[in-house]
Amino acid sequence: MRLSGNNLFALQIYFEKGIIPENKIIGGMMLNPVDAALVLVDFQGRLAQIVDRSELVVPNLMRLVKGVQALEMPILATVQVPDKLGPALPELSETLGDTPIISKTAFSAMREPEFMLALKQSGRKQFILGGIEAHVCVLQTGLDLLDAGYEVHLLSDAAFSRTAENHDLAWGGCMMPVQPSPAWKLRCLN
């Protein structure tokens, strides 16, 4: 069975109809909602206002988060020095509800002990990654996840930088699959 478009919500229907068994682990480079989690790096108000394509930050982020929540996949979210750069986007905080947002001071979330604990507690091996700034915090987090043996899928439409050139630098420097949306890469069984 194939999925088309950017609609993660369709996968919820597949679970409900038993097309994808909830405990089925699928290997390979395809994303598996049972084995994947979403990592959101530094979606903060001050940063979101100054990035290239800033008008896409909130709609793309909310579509992604709501789709992942519909699939009951874990979400790990961070903010970079919130006392200087501000809190998480209000829309994100509201949508995440009780999901903690982890403060960090290093560019890579993997350098933050609280993030490492949440990562380990998630029990996941695949991570869908997006955030601000793509060429710094997002890239370093992704590379550190890879170094730790995790599978990382970087989202081009959910990663932002202040300039288009910096956004493009992130893709040139990464060793991860890059795609516009994870929906087409979540594997379904017949």
Please state the domain count of the chain: 1
Catalytic site residue from 84, 125, 137, 168: 137
The answer to whether residue 13 sits within a structural domain is no
At residue 10, the pLDDT reads 43
Task: State yes or no: pLDDT of 178 exceeds 80.
Answer: no
Lowest mean pLDDT among 82-91, 120-129, 144-153, 173-182: 173-182
Total-model pTM: 0.77
The answer to whether residue 25 sits within a structural domain is no
The answer to whether residue 98 sits within a structural domain is yes
Mean pLDDT of 127-153: 89
Lowest mean pLDDT among 2-6, 10-14, 20-24: 2-6
Task: State yes or no: pLDDT of 9 exceeds 90.
Answer: no
Pairing of strands 151-160, 75-80: unpaired
The answer to whether residue 19 sits within a structural domain is no
Q: Which residue has the tokens 């890059």?
A: 178
Tens of pLDDT along 76-122? 999 999 999 999 999 999 999 999 999 999 999 999 999 999 999 99
At residue 107, the pLDDT reads 95
The answer to whether residue 20 sits within a structural domain is no
The answer to whether residue 2 sits within a structural domain is no
- The two structure tokens encoding residue 141: 């987090």
Say which amino acid occupies 160.
F
Residue 14 near residue 55 (C-beta atoms within 8 A): no
Q: What's 109's domain CATH number?
A: 3.40.50.850
Identify whether 137 is a catalytic site residue: yes
- What lies within 8 Å, CB to CB, of 70 at 6+ separation is 8, 9, 11, 12
Lowest mean pLDDT among 87-91, 123-127, 130-134, 182-186: 182-186
At residue 158, the pLDDT reads 84
The answer to whether residue 7 sits within a structural domain is no
Q: Where are the alpha helices (DSSP H) in the chain?
A: 9-16, 45-50, 57-70, 82-85, 90-96, 113-122, 139-147, 164-173
Task: State yes or no: pLDDT of 27 exceeds 50.
Answer: no
Q: Which residue has the tokens 């790096």?
A: 41
Identify whether 42 is a catalytic site residue: yes
Which residue range forms the structural domain that includes residue 89? 33-185
Mean pLDDT of 161-186: 57
At residue 57, the pLDDT reads 83
For the chain, helix (H) and strand (E) counts, in that order, are: 8, 6
Say which amino acid occupies 190.
N
The answer to whether residue 126 sits within a structural domain is yes
Catalytic site residue from 17, 24, 42, 174: 42
Mean pLDDT of 168-173: 60
Catalytic site residue from 17, 24, 35, 104: 104
Identify whether 104 is a catalytic site residue: yes
Task: State yes or no: pLDDT of 30 exceeds 60.
Answer: yes
- What lies within 8 Å, CB to CB, of 138 at 6+ separation is 41, 42, 129, 130, 131, 132, 154, 159, 170
